Structure formats: structure tokens, C-alpha cells
Structure 1
């Protein structure tokens, strides 16, 4: 029988806002008699890279009964305390200056942390209830601060400082905390409260509109997985958004998400019209993506994630399903919930297709291998990434579209990828946190696809998932009345390299394989200073005066050495994919965007 009495408790206090220090106290009522081990996770679920959060622990000590207890460091993540009688207390400080959704950040404007960055794990007692006391900072800058988290309150008012409780360590670290003077609103989606927390300065933020739009997206996704009961898998959900001048990103959790967005992407009451801007659609797509993860990866999981081993890499070849399919459905739910129309949806889809076709890495790495190699390649990208790897997000989304179209065609519209997702939910996700945690294996995914399609999909899987062929979208879209065109501007002269401004000059960040820059010997990192003796501040502007096939002389600095290159200009190779839905014809198959 499991012990339901809290035996693990934490106190976390923002000790010094200017120095970005959290002070954490961990108390273990019943430490292991042979000496208690403590360990901080090396990575955070949803971000597949060893981040070594323990490097931010500044100092650490232990005591029992008011007397010091010796701590021995076992490796870079863990410590062992000598045997001690009675309650054992560990105190430590955490440096928090990572303004991202993955770790912890603290200053005079706000505090944010994921549990993986601040809460030491007590091996052997992870299934016990964990209590955390979040203390209000003793600083005038924090006078109006509140707390936002999906953790249940124990001795605290909602949004207030005080004591919160988690069923176990996994729930504790899967419930990030935001502290600050944030904007707050709540809406209900099929009866479940959803909090919207916005930290950062956003003049004239149109919170009612944001809530109304998110409500439609959330209700559409809840009804998607539970069309009869419309029952959400959580009792409450929190959208936490940190607003910055320029930023984008999100990380999913079981009952919340942490987001970063650009200030200009949020809706304002000062807007003259009510059309959703491109930036706002992008933000809603991010929210849709992270919310879909509530089902797909937080509850429907790869078998190797059930449970996570947070000290080492957890390899799976299935991220194309968990991230790729989520990327497919995020924009799909924008059109299904009425945020964009069908034309807008296919515009976004065409942009995504072009992005995948741009990289030569797609012909060298499958999405299955990309998934498995996420730890060493996708999350550690360098200047050659576009030529060496493929994104399991971006191509995984096209895999989702291709499978959706294939299943619809083979079943004459009776089945779709929607049925695959609902079957995954019913068999592997619905009861994951209700005592029956079980992840899905690659073989089970293959079998389920065959089952839903009513035929063997092995050729599709071998070509496009475990192989490197491009999904034949033009062929697959045709029966659904969607015209596919590649209208790349091949007559426009180009270096075929990604270039950013570097002061008055231009810096090469990526050289695409087989392009003009590659053939001339230009490399990533080179700073272009002149093209045919004219300063290379505006490369596109200079090249517009030439035609494809012309040769130009490029001067560039590589490190501190001036180099000269003779470049024969090629036509622009950036795919210009347009997808145009045609008027529906009688008997035509139903499009994936249809509700």
C-alpha cells in the first residue's frame, strides 16, 4: 500500500531578485538509513537535450537535528548524505537566469521555474506526496506579485503565496510556477476552468478576445478526443505566457503550458479592425500546439517515457508522431475552431511544405532517425543542420497530412487520422494517470495504422517515415480538390545562403548544399563586405541588378582574413508552394480541414 502522507516537503523563496537566486529547503521525514541520495534531473520532458540543471546550484548543505550532515557528490547531478537519525534537511541556492520555457528565471519583473530546475529528487520516495511552500519575496519590487500554477492548493488561496501539493514527484516537476504582477483571466472550456496568465508589458491587451479565441480552440480539441462526453483530462488548465520584445516558444505540461511570445503578436483593444494578424495567428497556433500535447505526449506517450528516466537520454524513434502529428493538428484546429478560413489554412500548410523541401537534410535522415537522434542532433543544431538533418516537427507534420489523406482515400472517407488519434487516446492515454500507465511502442503504432486504414500501410511507413522520400502531396491532395503548385522564383539570382545583417556588412549563417555560395567556397560565418566592389549591406538589393548565370566577385572576411570568391549566380531554389482548394465537386473526398 502506498504512503499517502506527505513525507517530502520543499520551501522555495526568491532570495535575491537582483542576483537571480532562489533559496530552496528540502525536508525528508524518513531518509534512507544507509544514507539518502538526492538528484536533480538532467533534462526536462518535452525538450530532448541533456541540460545539466545542477550546474546552477551555487551551494548546498545538509543537516539533521540542528547538526551538519556531510554531503558527498556522486556525479554532476547527485549527492549522498551520510546516515542521519530523524528528519533530514537540505538547503541550496539556485541561480535562475534562463529566460526560456525550459528552466528558471528570476529578476525584479517576475519569477518563473520548472521543477526540474529547482527541486531535488529523493530516490525511493518519488511516489509520495510532495508539498511545496512558495514564499513571497521580501522585496518592494514584488509587492504586487501573485502565483500561477496548476498545482492544487494545500494552504494557499488560488494565485496566492503559500503551500501547494503534488501527488508525486512527477506531478511536482510537471507543474511550472510563475510569480509576478501578471494579467489574469479565466474562461471555461466544456466546464473546465482555464487560466490565462500574461507576464510582461502589453499596452491595451485585449484579454477578452484572447480568452474567447482560446476557448474555441480548447473546446474543439476536448470534443475531438471525447466527442460524446466532452470531458477534459484535467480539472483545471493554465496558459502561462511571458511577453518579450521578440521571442517564440512553448513547453507542454500535463495541466498547463509555459509560453514565450513577442509583444506585437498579442491582440490589443486599440486595433482598428478585428482581423487576426499574422503574428496573432502564429501565437494561437503555438497555444493550439501545446494544448494538443495535453493528450499527445503528456498522456499518450512512447513506451520509453513511461516512466521517464530524468538522469539520462530516453531514446525513441516516435517523435515524428508526438511532435509531428501535434504540429499537423495545431493549425488544423485553427481552421476547425474558426480562427482562420480554409484559404488561410492552406497558405500556412504551403509555407510548411516549402520549409521542409528547402533543406537537403531531408534526403539524408528519416523522421524516425531524426526522432531517435534528437538528443545529439536536432537539439544541438549547427550551421550545417539544414544540409544534414530533417525536422521531425516539420516533416512529421507532412507525414500526418500524408497519412490522413491516405487513410481517407483508402476508406472512401469513412476513416481518417482523427480515428488514429482517438484510438491512441482510448488505448494508451485516457487512463495514464489513473493507475494504468502504459506507453505505445513503434510496432503498436504500425499495427494501429493498419487497423484504422483497413490495409497494410507498410509501404508508406518504409518510404516516408523510416525512409527519406518526400511525401507525394501533389498526388495525395488531388482527389480532395486541392491544387498543388511549386512557383519558386527560379529567375531570381541568388547565393542560396541564409544571410543576416552584421553592422554595415552581411554575415552568412547557412550555406545550402549545391547552391551558388557552396560551389564558390563561401562558408557559414563568413562576413560579406563587398559584391563587385560595392558594400554588401543589402545583398538582395545588389543581386537584383544581375541575372541568373552572371558571375560576381565577392569579398568576405573569414575570421580576420580577407578572402575573394568568384560566384556564378544560380536561380533562387527556395520552394514557393501554393495549395489552392478548388470548389467542391460532387462525390469528392472530404478534406482534412473539414470539421
Structure 2
């Protein structure tokens, strides 16, 4: 099989795709377009971007085809030979997992736009992308005899491609693996130092796991002129979108880019190969429900940051700042009272990547990272670590590409302790349950010589009255323990406010109605900002960092 992809008019943002299918038997041929992609457990319905599909027989005739579902086509071959499927795909979404075409670049994630042909999924697939001669290209696909190919559809769906007139390329070899760094867009930072820093955390990860899963890996960076932040993992690389590019001249923004880079590289082990059995292999035709969000993203979020500290890129102060962001995102979310992280993982397909209704769910990223931190601290007390667990999972499940169950993960964790009762209680309370994890995080931080402090949020509406609003005055969050929860609504717009004798008088617009509301000051701070204080290093902290 082969895909030929080109764009006859890039500013239209359409690409033209021809799929060549060798038909050896006169049976129905079915074409399944993926409905979602790896790394985002949400239906994307890529089919909405397809138009003008035609099937051409070996003798050049257009033959009928029919649709069986929203993204499954079928045609009946009348004789053996090579059939062609012609169609157009609209490439107008710029993020790390989509497709974008314009006069400056041709950027593809093949899972968006390429069909899986039933009965041919395990066959080698050739890929040819026709682009202007002055464009340079990069891809996570392997190549052979100057041709790109995928060993099977799973590999094709896990691959990206970028051709651009302004690509910058660097590379470094570590322990037999060549790491490529590709930059599309303006570079506003020291590229030599960036390469050294990436090399630093990559070396530390390879040292920790003992090996790297593949022989070639591509960091593909889309440095954009507007605000953006996204990353998607692949077995042989990652695509990362970040903007505005000029903001990367500041260390704090470069830290964000380095953070997502280390996060995605950790995925080369965790998720790309250490993967829940429910998504091993991927079935892109329908939802694949699992409860392992804290493992796939929580552990990766925590480990991505801690390895930046261990590699020396982060100072302890910078690591604290990153941890504080996690704490403060979690502190305003009360979804843990209503859903466990297991339930929120299962419900990713419903609303996992949107705000959703107030306080329904937890984030598999930030809440999962706090769970990972607590487990790491608990395991350190057992002369083990969370990384030791991940290393065992790599050998047992990741390297042989066997899907795990959460029961099997927990068995590995319990194998590292003689105090299983404490770990099982933690699981019941904070993974399967609805207990507040902050007191436990505080306890484990203290065991590392780190104090968890808090202060009222600077905005008195948030700290004293439990109201968080956007710049235009629209209320986005209301603390459930405040009086405002009984009187205000999310999306009320505050037009004016006045405090007198501890009473807040506000004028609001509620869906066209003007209302006057009075609120009494809370006796305690409602929304707080949390911060970390370095008290005194100890032996456990040394083991944690090293």
C-alpha cells in the first residue's frame, strides 16, 4: 500500500491524497478513518475534514462506494489489481496533533487523514509527500532507499511530517540513539545551550531506564508568533507547538518549553510502550475506555519535572515554582469531592479536555502528578522509588509491548514495600476515593525538608469572598464554602464593586438582567495561593533528587 500526499493550492488548506491498495481477492474493501488519536482520549471525528472521495479501479473507472458509519467506507472490487482512493483533507488546525497547510509549510499528523484498510493493517505502508523543492522536511517515519514507510498502520498513525521553507536542524547522539531537533519558526534563545539542556535530561532518562526504546528520535518544534502550548508524544519523536516564539527569550517561558519537552520524552517509555491493556494496540475506530489516567499522564507530568531537576536544568527554586503551579491549579478545583481520578480517567471521552461543569472531575495531569509525588515519597521510605517501579514496568510490560492492568501496576508497587496496608489505604483514599490529597502532600513535602505555605490570593474577591473572575469581569469560579455560592452564578458579569464595613456590594449582569448583590466577608481565606519553603535538606531529599 502507499499514500501519495500533495497540496495543489496550499492557501486553500486542502491536501490531495491518493491511497493505492493492492486487491488480491474479490471481497469487500473497507476503509476506516481514525476517530481519535493517541495521547488524547477524546473523539476528534477527523472525517469532518474529508471531501471528494472517489474510488478508481485498475482500468481507470470510477466505481461506487458506500458509507457504513460516519467514518467507515466500503467498496466492491470487480477484479484484482491496484485500486486508488482519491480524496481531499482540510488542514486548518494548528496544534501538536493536527494538520496545517499554508504557503509556508505542510504539516501532517497521519492519524488525522490516512485510512486504515481492513485486512491490510499489518502490511508495510509507503508514504510520499510532494512539497516544494525549496522546502526542507522532517518526519518521525523511518526511511529506506530514500522512501518513507511505516511497518504497519499503528506506526503510520503514530507519525508526523513537516515540510517548511525555514527549518533549523540540530542533532546529537546518545547511547546509540540519534536525537534530532527541528525548529520551524523564529528562534529567540541560545540554540547551543538549548541542545545541551535537552541532551542533559535525555542522558539522565536513558541512564535511569538503562536504555532508549528506539534508535532515532525527533523533537519537532513549531515556534509560533501567537500564544500556544501543546505537545504530543510519538514512539519516534514528539511535536511541540509553542508561542509566541519571541517570549522564549525569557527564562520562565523557556522553562515551559523545556518542561513539555522532557514530559514528551518521558512518554517514549511511559505510554508509547508502557501502556494500559485497553489501548494496546490502539483501536482508533471507537472509544477505548481505561482508568489509568494517573499513570499515563500524572506520572509523566511529575517525572518530566523531576528529571529537569535531576539533570541540573532546574534549580531547586525553579522546580518549586513548577510544583507550585501544579498545587495552585489543583487548589481551586473541588472535583475530587465528586469523582475519583479513576472515574475522571474513564470519563475523558466525555469532557476530559474541556472545562466541563463546575467541580465534577479531577485533572489526570495535575491531580495525577500529586498522586505520583506522594507515591514517590512513600516509596523512598521503603528504600525504593517511583522510578524503580517504572523501571520494573518497563522491563515487564513496556519493552515486550504487553499492555498492563492497574492491578498489575499496583502489584509492582506493593512489591517494593513491607507495609502494604499503608499503600492500599492510600489507593482507597486518593486513587479510588474522594479524600483531600493536600494534607498528605504537605506531610510528604515536610519529610523532604520542604514546608508548604499558603497566603490569600491577591484579588480580595477570590480570597475574602470566594469569587474568581476573568479580566472582563465574568465570574469563572465560585468557592462552594462561600456565601457567594448561594447568590452568584458562573458567567455573571461584575460591573462594579464596593466594600464598606466588611460588606461587598456588587452590580452584576446576569444574562441581560441587572442585579445588586451584597456579600459578607468570610471569616477565613477561601481561595489561596500555595508556595514551597526550603527548610533544610536531609538524606531523603538527597535520594529524591538523585
Mapped to 2, the partners of 1:81 and 1:422 lie a distance apart of 47
Mapped to 2, the partners of 1:453 and 1:223 lie a distance apart of 24
Q: Could you tell me how far 1:474 is from its partner in structure 2?
A: 2.0
* Structure 1 vs Structure 2 CA RMSD: 2.1
- Structure 1 pair 22/569, CA: closer, same or farther in 2 (3 Å)? farther
Q: Which residue of 1 aligns with 2:372?
A: 400
Aligned: 1:589 with 2:532: no
Decide which of 407, 421, 424 is 2:390's aligned counterpart: 421
Aligned: 1:70 with 2:64: yes
- Structure 1 pair 319/30, CA: closer, same or farther in 2 (3 Å)? same
- Structure 1 pair 563/110, CA: closer, same or farther in 2 (3 Å)? farther
Mapped to 2, the partners of 1:465 and 1:517 lie a distance apart of 31
Aligned: 1:499 with 2:469: yes
Q: Could you tell me how far 1:267 is from its partner in structure 2?
A: 4.7
Partner SS state of residue 528, structure 2: coil
Aligned: 1:12 with 2:2: no
Q: Could you tell me how far 1:490 is from its partner in structure 2?
A: 9.0
- Structure 1 pair 208/84, CA: closer, same or farther in 2 (3 Å)? farther
Unaligned segments of structure 2, at least 5 residues? none
Structure 1 residues 261-307: Cα deviation after superposition (integer angstroms, max 9, x where no partner)? 12357655xxxxxxx71111111011010110000000000011111
Q: Could you tell me how far 1:92 is from its partner in structure 2?
A: 0.3
- Structure 1 pair 190/517, CA: closer, same or farther in 2 (3 Å)? farther
Q: Is the 8 A contact 1:554 1:567 kept in 2?
A: no
Q: Is the 8 A contact 2:461 2:467 kept in 1?
A: no
Q: Which residue of 2 aligns with 1:540?
A: none
Q: Which deviates the most, 486-495 or 361-370?
A: 486-495
Structure 1 residues 353-406: Cα deviation after superposition (integer angstroms, max 9, x where no partner)? 232122111221111111111111212433x34x22111111110111101111
Q: Is the 8 A contact 2:234 2:268 kept in 1?
A: yes
Structure 1 residues 507-561: Cα deviation after superposition (integer angstroms, max 9, x where no partner)? 233334334543322322x3332335xxxxxxxxxxxxx47932213232x3333
Q: Is the 8 A contact 1:41 1:52 kept in 2?
A: yes
Q: Could you tell me how far 1:75 is from its partner in structure 2?
A: 1.1
Mapped to 2, the partners of 1:590 and 1:265 lie a distance apart of 36
Decide which of 478, 484, 488 is 1:521's aligned counterpart: 488
Partner SS state of residue 453, structure 1: coil
Q: Is the 8 A contact 2:6 2:15 kept in 1?
A: yes
Aligned: 1:146 with 2:115: no
Q: Is the 8 A contact 1:321 1:396 kept in 2?
A: yes
User: Post-superposition, which runs of at least 4 consecutive aligned residues in structure 1 deviate over 6 A?
Assistant: none
Partner SS state of residue 29, structure 1: strand
TM-score by length of 2: 0.93
Mapped to 2, the partners of 1:146 and 1:454 lie a distance apart of 56
Q: Could you tell me how far 1:150 is from its partner in structure 2?
A: 1.7
Partner SS state of residue 62, structure 1: strand
Q: Which residue of 2 aligns with 1:200?
A: 185
Mapped to 1, the partners of 2:542 and 2:503 lie a distance apart of 45
Decide which of 211, 214, 228 is 1:234's aligned counterpart: 214
Aligned: 1:479 with 2:447: yes
- Structure 1 pair 79/474, CA: closer, same or farther in 2 (3 Å)? same
Aligned: 1:340 with 2:314: yes
TM-score by length of 1: 0.86
Q: Which residue of 1 aligns with 2:76?
A: 82
Decide which of 394, 411, 425 is 1:459's aligned counterpart: 425
Q: Could you tell me how far 1:114 is from its partner in structure 2?
A: 0.9
Aligned: 1:106 with 2:101: yes
Q: What is the number of equivalent residue pairs in this alignment?
A: 535
- Structure 1 pair 348/145, CA: closer, same or farther in 2 (3 Å)? same
- Structure 1 pair 305/460, CA: closer, same or farther in 2 (3 Å)? same
